[in-house]
Amino acid sequence: MRHLIDPLDLSVQEIDKLLDLADDIAGNPKRYSQVCSGKKLATLFYEPSTRTRLSFESAMLNMGGSVLGFSSANSSSAAKGESVADTIRAVSCYADICAIRHPKEGAPLRASQYSKIPVINAGDGGHQHPTQTLTDLMTIRVKKHRLDHLTIGLCGDLKFGRTVHSLITALSRYEGVRFVLISPEELRVPDYIIDNVLKAKNIPFEEVENIEDVISQLDILYMTRVQKERFFNEEDYIRLKDSYILTMDKMQNAKPDMAVLHPLPRVNEIALEVDDDPRAAYFDQVQNGVYVRMALMMTLLEVEHA
């Protein structure tokens, strides 16, 4: 049985195959409308979510399956003190696959150790978010027709932003990738990613504070929200929350074919005026998120292709 806990749980070949499947689903959705009929997805969300939970549910419904679950810790037995290990043992009796989001780093991994069904990490604390990464990879491939030989700028909260950690980890396996890490000093990429991924694999990267200095080099600009819920004090959050705001003025200096990505939700990081620029790809990501989650659940459930 396979789980998806960390972006490296899928090989580069498996990701290629999965993205090919997602492309085919996007082009021929009707062909997949019953491939999961009789299958049940459980969504166990101990933290707020709009896109991730609803796109998992929409993905399963698109394939003729059904969904059950909870959308906050308060409405589950976690509020009574139940452990993740016990919860997953119960959920294994109710569903065929599950997606779990939890504020504690490592909770989905722990769940997978007690589970009888495939477990998908839908975000664990400030750690990883591998299905957002599949969404990001699909969007990059659609926009740039490749995942290698790209200069990728990541901007904002690179410390607590789990989507950033997963995307760097996944992209580190492609040739010719270079990262420009744009953040305030306090929100730099954690050392474990710098040391175990970037330095360990000799991947070129630079860390800068000013987006204007580097925007012209970028093929992809990945904007992120400052992760309010992971701050220890409100003062720091208020000081850092508006560190970067992408405006049309700044976009003037970017390449005409740069793509702007954002996992969403957006707070202030991207001015609304940028939404109408053809380089804005963040709403495409939302749609692609459904296709990759369909492809992922088909793969983990070993459902025959249509």
Q: Is 241 helix (H, G, I), strand (E, B) or coil?
A: coil
Whether 102 sits among the annotated catalytic residues: the reply is no
Of the candidate residues 40, 127, 165, 225, the single one contacting ligand NCD (CB under 6 A): 225
Kind and range of the H or E run holding 250: helix 248-251
Task: Point out the catalytic residue in the list 3, 129, 241, 293.
Answer: 129
DSSP 86: H
Among 277, 4, 2, 269, CA closest to 135: 4
Whether 101 sits among the annotated catalytic residues: the reply is yes
Q: Is 293 a residue that touches ligand NCD (CB under 6 A)?
A: no
Least distance to ligand NCD from the beta carbon of 179, Å?
18
* Contact predicate 196/190, CB 8 Å: no
Nearer to ligand NCD, 204 or 265 (CB): 265
Of the candidate residues 163, 169, 172, 299, the single one contacting ligand NCD (CB under 6 A): 163
Residue whose pair of structure tokens reads 């989650």 in the numeric block = 293
Burial of 190 (0-12, 13-18, 19+ CB in 10 A): middle
Q: Is 52 annotated as a binding residue?
A: yes
Q: Is 65 a residue that touches ligand NCD (CB under 6 A)?
A: no
Whether 52 sits among the annotated catalytic residues: the reply is yes
Q: Is 80 annotated as a binding residue?
A: yes
Task: Point out the catalytic residue in the list 3, 40, 43, 52.
Answer: 52
| Helices then strands, each counted (H, E), the chain | 10, 9
**Which residues from 250-289 bind ligand NCD, rule CB under 6 A?**
263-265
Of the candidate residues 17, 51, 173, 188, the single one contacting ligand NCD (CB under 6 A): 51
Measured distance CA(290)–CA(279) in Å, rounded: 21
Residues known to be catalytic: 51-52, 80, 101, 129
Binding site for ligand NCD (CB under 6 A): 51-52, 123, 129, 132, 162-163, 225, 263-265
